Structure 1
Amino acid sequence: MPEGHSVHRIANQFEQSFVGHRIEASSPQGRFAAGAEQLSGATMVDSKAVGKQMFLEFDNGLFLHVHLGLYGAWDFAGQIATGASMAETRTRRMATRRAENGKDPETGKDPETGKAAETGTPAHVADDDGEHSMASIGAPRTRRVRMAEQEKQEDDLESFPPEPVGQVRVRLLSDTAVADLRGPTKCEVLDAEGVDTAISKLGPDPLVDSPKKGGDRFVAIAGKKRTPIGLLLMDQSVISGIGNIYRAEMLFRARLNPHTPGTEVPEETLRALWKDWTKLLKSGVELGQMMTMDGLSKKAYAQALKSRADRHWVYHREGLPCRVCGTNIVMEDMGGRKLYWCPVDQA
């Protein structure tokens, strides 16, 4: 299932390539014909991600709400944003949110913390498993890109728009780009009130909520629940965007036993988890990869970017020695998903 960084990157792609354009919406598969008819002919005016869910706003007061779930993916084609352009999009979005949250849009300083917001530019990375950030080639090019849990860049297009391939639930077509959605868990048209209701059910997202208010909200919710922290981090009503990989990695980075009830996790540890999620989410959006190793040499970092097996502390390392203490990493079922952790460092 795509985790939070992937959905934010998809939202950035829509902002860069579709916002401001009149959209022709259709449902080649036929299952979303009525919804597509409501949106077709309107101009897309905003694109927003909250955790694993995305909201595309149109100038007729309606929104397309999409949750990719386990099998969903967006296929983009046409003049598609790539590495450097994606970074610029994120910078603009963060500047807008700083202004909306009462920060100085020039300095980016938060009156609550007195600190400036972090910015960055993604590097061009291509790994052995096909997961990579898009090539930093500046202006959009006419090509195909699939964006889901992994991002895969295909050959340049010979003609535009390409014919729909497979079971396309909804197609969004502008004068320069097309986006095809397949296999989502949720795809629906909402009004503004419906969007507010959907977002109200979600926990804080570091790229949406202010650092202090978001952290306070997470601590207040998680600290009152006796549910194991390993389940709380996956509960989208507690904190948004964390999936199976980030859960395992964050718990190890905090040296925290996944079975510890939220009520028994010290407040400072909960705040550290929020801060770490903020750092990892921003890195994931910029790199297009879930890089959770730290303290690496320049050579080891380059290798980790190239090979997923070298990118994580514990995820998918069942039976392999812990990178810190040498104890074999264990795997168990928690919340219907595989959890990887070290029984010594996280005892």
Structure 2
Amino acid sequence: MPEGHSIHRLAARHAELFAGEKVQAASPQGRFAEGAALLSGTVLDDTEAYGKHLLHHYAHELTLHVHLGLYGKFADGPGDPPPPVGQVRLRLTSDGSGSRRGGRRAELEPSDDGRWLDLRGPTACELLTPPEVAALRARLGPDPLRADADPARAYTRISRSPTPLAALLLDQSVVAGTGLIFVTEALFRAGLPPLLPGRELTPALWGALWADLVGLMTLAVEVGRIDTVRDAHLPEATGRAPRVDRHGGEVYVYRRPGQPCHVCGAEVRRGVLAGRNLYWCPTCQG
């Protein structure tokens, strides 16, 4: 499942494509036909990401809510869209003739012939009313990538709970947008064991952990991948081989069980918590 930085990148991309434009919407698959009919001919005012949730805000208080889940994917391009292949839940198109906001057109491919966007396989693709949007935000914890995030709200939950810290950080009602990579890596960087009860986390440690999540996730938005290894432990500094993994990026413990810790050389461990794999160093996080 994409982590929060990917959704923030998608929100920015979709604003570049369509913000200020009147869009045409269709559902080749048919499962979103009624919603697409309501969106067609409507101007996209803005987009936003909240955790792993993507919101398109249209005129007349229409909001499209997308949660990609495990299998959802977007594709986009300039010009006329290709013939729909597979289960396209939603297709958005624009002829590029609308008023563009903030000079964003210059950031797109050099084409005034329109653009298209396809969505396949999401867990959620639905239209929400303003009260429903408010309810969605209310049930999510603070998002480290949002300027309006209140980390104290998350700490109130964490400081009262005997639940392992890793599980709390993966709970989207506690912190929104953090997935297994960010959680395991941030805990390693903080020297905190993943099974530490939340109520044992001090305010100072929480402040440092939150700040690190903000920094790591912000960097991931900028570069498009998750890198968590400090300069002193990179392959260029240590002479070790670079990481080879389909997820990309240099990490300390995520998907590295049985391999030596980049800091102390101890064997990275793997365990299971609530059906999710955990990775940690028994020495650095002991």
Return the TM-score normalized by structure 1.
0.72
In structure 2, C-alpha distance between the alignment counterparts of 1:255 and 1:191, rounded to whole Å: 43
Over 6 Å off, 4+ runs = none
Q: Is the 8 A contact 1:46 1:56 kept in 2?
A: yes
Matches within 5 A, 1:220-231: 220-231=156-167
Residues 228 and 274 (structure 1), Cα distance of their counterparts in 2 relative to 1, 3 Å cut: same
**Is the 2:77–2:115 contact (alpha carbons within 8 Å) kept by the matching residues of 1?**
yes
1:140 match: none
CA–CA distance in 2 between the matches of 1:309 and 1:34?
39
In the TM superposition, 1:42-121 aligns within 5 A as 42-78=42-78
Distance in structure 1 (CA, Å) of the matches to 2:163 and 2:233: 37
Q: 2:225, 2:248 within 8 Å by CA — same for their partners in 1?
A: no
Which residue does the alignment assign to 2:11? Answer: 11
SS in 1 for 2:22: coil
1:239 is matched by which residue type in structure 2? V
The letter of the residue matching 2:17 is: S
Picking from 113, 116, 125, the partner of 1:178 is 116
Matches within 5 A, 1:263-278: 263-278=199-214
Matched, 1:330 2:266: no
CA distance in 1, matches of 2:260, 2:243: 21
Of structures 1 and 2, the one with the larger relative CO (CA 8 A, separation 6+) is 1
Matched, 1:24 2:24: yes
Which residue is 1:346 aligned to? 285
Residues 288-342 of structure 1, C-alpha deviations (whole Å, 9 max, x = no match): 01011112488738x8699766600001111001111111111111122211111
Deviations 1:12-58 (A, max 9, x none): 00111111111111100111111111111101001000010011011
In 2 relative to 1, CA 305–37 (structure 1 residues): closer, same or farther, beyond 3 Å? farther
Please state if 1:259 is matched with 2:187: no
* Counterpart AA for 2:4: G
CA distance in 1, matches of 2:142, 2:215: 14
TM-score, reference length from structure 2: 0.87
Deviations along 1:50-83, one digit per CA (max 9) or x if unpaired, are: 01001101112111000101111111111xxxxx
Partners in 2 of 1:206 and 1:310 — Cα distance?
20
State the distance in 1 between where 2:134 and 2:156 align.
21
Alignment deviations for residues 266-304 of structure 1 (CA, whole Å, 9 cap, x no partner): 111111111011001110000001011112488738x86
Helix, strand or coil at the partner of 2:135? helix
In 2, Cα distance between equivalents of 1:224 and 1:274: 17
Q: 2:105 maps to what in 1?
A: none
Distance of 1:26 and 1:304 partners within structure 2: 44
User: Using the alignment, how far apart are the partners of 1:42 and 1:170 within structure 2?
Assistant: 15
Name the residue aligned to 1:83.
Answer: none
Partners in 2 of 1:265 and 1:311 — Cα distance?
27
Q: Secondary structure at the match of 1:43?
A: strand
Task: Report how far residue 209 of structure 1 moved.
Answer: 3.7
**Structure 1 residues 239 and 5 mapped into 2: Cα distance closer, same or farther (>3 Å)?**
same
Pair 1:281-2:217 in alignment? yes
Name the amino acid aligned to 1:215.
P
Does residue 1:160 correspond to 2:160, yes or no?
A: no
Q: 1:318 to 1:298 in 2, by over 3 A?
A: closer
Pair 1:201 & 2:148 matched: no
The answer on whether the counterparts of 1:22 and 1:174 sit within 8 Å (CA) in structure 2 is yes
Comparing 334-343 with 26-35, which one deviates more in the overlay?
334-343
Structure 2 unaligned spans of 5+: 96-113
Aligned match of 1:189: 127
Q: 2:231 aligns with which of 295, 301, 310?
A: 295
Percent of pairs identical after alignment? 43
The SS at the match of 1:278 is helix
Q: Tell me how many residue pairs correspond in the alignment.
A: 264
Q: C-alpha distance in 1, partners of 2:133/2:248? A: 38
1:152 corresponds to: none
